[in-house]
Structure 1
Amino acid sequence: MSDIDSSAQLKPIILDDLPDFMISGYHCSTHIQKHIDLILLALEALDLGVSEQMLATVKLFNLQKVIKNRIALWRLRSTNPWRRAYNRGILSIEQAKALVIITNHHVKPLTADIRQLLLAEQQMSKNNLPVTCHFLLAEYLDQFRAHFHSRMNPRRAKVALYLDSEHKLNELALILLKQLLFCTGTSGMQRLWVSLFDGEVI
């Protein structure tokens, strides 16, 4: 059996559910790495226990060859250049796919909660009220801001802009919330994956 045949057998089947793109070097851009981590950050703000459940999801989908353990998962998250612990690593396409699969698996049970929060955001906007006036929405935004403050590097210019403006950080949290909803429906995982590569495909 050739090495190619052997590696194909070792590749988790679920990765084939997401299309491959002709990306230079078959690695992700820093923009994609940042985007995936921020989406996961929003997911963690919605469900405080989700970070502990991610490794179980890795095993559920047989992704151990892509994400070996908790440290490996942390290192993949730290390829986000905004992170305090930025490691200058580069996500492979398979690693990025695995993170999107994990995101999709954990966001689906939260669909009703996300819809409720976005409906509340619309109601607050319609009544010219701050989004923080809604208890559940304020809770999500507080958690997101807390995660962002503790994990992102304030010496990064863009990060500093968000840290200096609660309003801008709330806006970012709501944008990411809408993107999470985007991947809850039919073929949501594929839609999220494709959206990451807008402007990236050669």
Structure 2
Amino acid sequence: MQLNISAPVNLDLHVPKDFVRGCPRSIRMDIDHLLLAIEALDLEAVEVILVLIEQLGLEKTIPSRVAFWRLRNTNPLRRNYQRASLSWDELKALVKIVCTIAKQLDTGLRLLLSTDRQISEGKIEALGLQQNQGFLENYIDRFTSLYIGRMRSPSPLNKQEIRELALQLLTRLLLCSGIAGEYRLWNSLFDGAIA
């Protein structure tokens, strides 16, 4: 994945008043799942993210690979759950990372979501898009493998639920790939979250 960083870093995201106690578990799960989807889309995503942290000037918040790993393990579904929370600055940094990468993946996200729609409409063979179906299945297989490998055992989701989650995450990544992506993602994280 080639990174094209054009916009300045803007972490001016506001925490709703009801969430003064800290980052809820549902938000920690959501942001980690989005990062997991990015990993399933690009096998070198973690290395790209580590470079991106420096390019975006986020080293004070995420100073190392180990610090990044610890942030990911604040997801309570993880095998290596750290029993810690994310600070709001850490969450803002992860939102910036997710949105920056989503912008780079925009075309691929559109292709995969269009393919999913064509599969559900039974149009893949008629349109000769079996290769695109293969791309989508590869993404879902990688996401499933990552999810099962990283989350606690037994898995909190069955394979069909993991598949549905993988597809939902594509839609969420696409929604945060636009100009106001950071604000869209930030606000969506709080939808339904319990303070």
Find out whether 1:34 has 2:29 as its counterpart: yes
Partner of 1:21: 16
**Alignment size in residue pairs:** 183
Partner of 1:87: 82
Whichever residue aligns with residue 152 of structure 1, its letter is M
TM-score, normalised on structure 2?
Answer: 0.86
TM-score, normalised on structure 1?
Answer: 0.83
Partner of 1:9: none
Contact 2:24 2:194 in 1 (8 A): no
Whichever residue aligns with residue 15 of structure 2, its letter is D
Unaligned regions of 5+ residues in structure 2, if any? 1-7, 125-129
- When the two chains are superposed, the root-mean-square deviation of aligned CA atoms in Å is 2.3
For 1:124-171, what per-residue CA distance to the aligned partner results, in whole angstroms no more than 9, with x for missing partners? 101188x9991010010011011001100014xxx34x2xx3222111
For 1:45-72, what per-residue CA distance to the aligned partner results, in whole angstroms no more than 9, with x for missing partners? 0111111111211111211111111100
Contact 2:26 2:193 in 1 (8 A): no
Partner of 1:103: 98
Contact 1:44 1:50 in 2 (8 A): yes
Partner of 1:151: 150
Distance 1:154 1:128 in 2: 37
For 1:10-52, what per-residue CA distance to the aligned partner results, in whole angstroms no more than 9, with x for missing partners? xx96322x23322433521011001100011001101111111
- TM superposition outliers: structure 1 runs of 4+ over 3 Å: 23-26, 199-202
Find out whether 1:184 has 2:177 as its counterpart: yes
Percent identity at matched positions?
40
Structure number with larger C-alpha Rg:
1
Find out whether 1:171 has 2:164 as its counterpart: yes
Distance 2:52 2:169 in 1: 22
Q: 1:172 to 1:199 in 2, by over 3 A?
A: closer
Find out whether 1:48 has 2:43 as its counterpart: yes
Whichever residue aligns with residue 167 of structure 1, its letter is Q
Find out whether 1:139 has 2:138 as its counterpart: yes
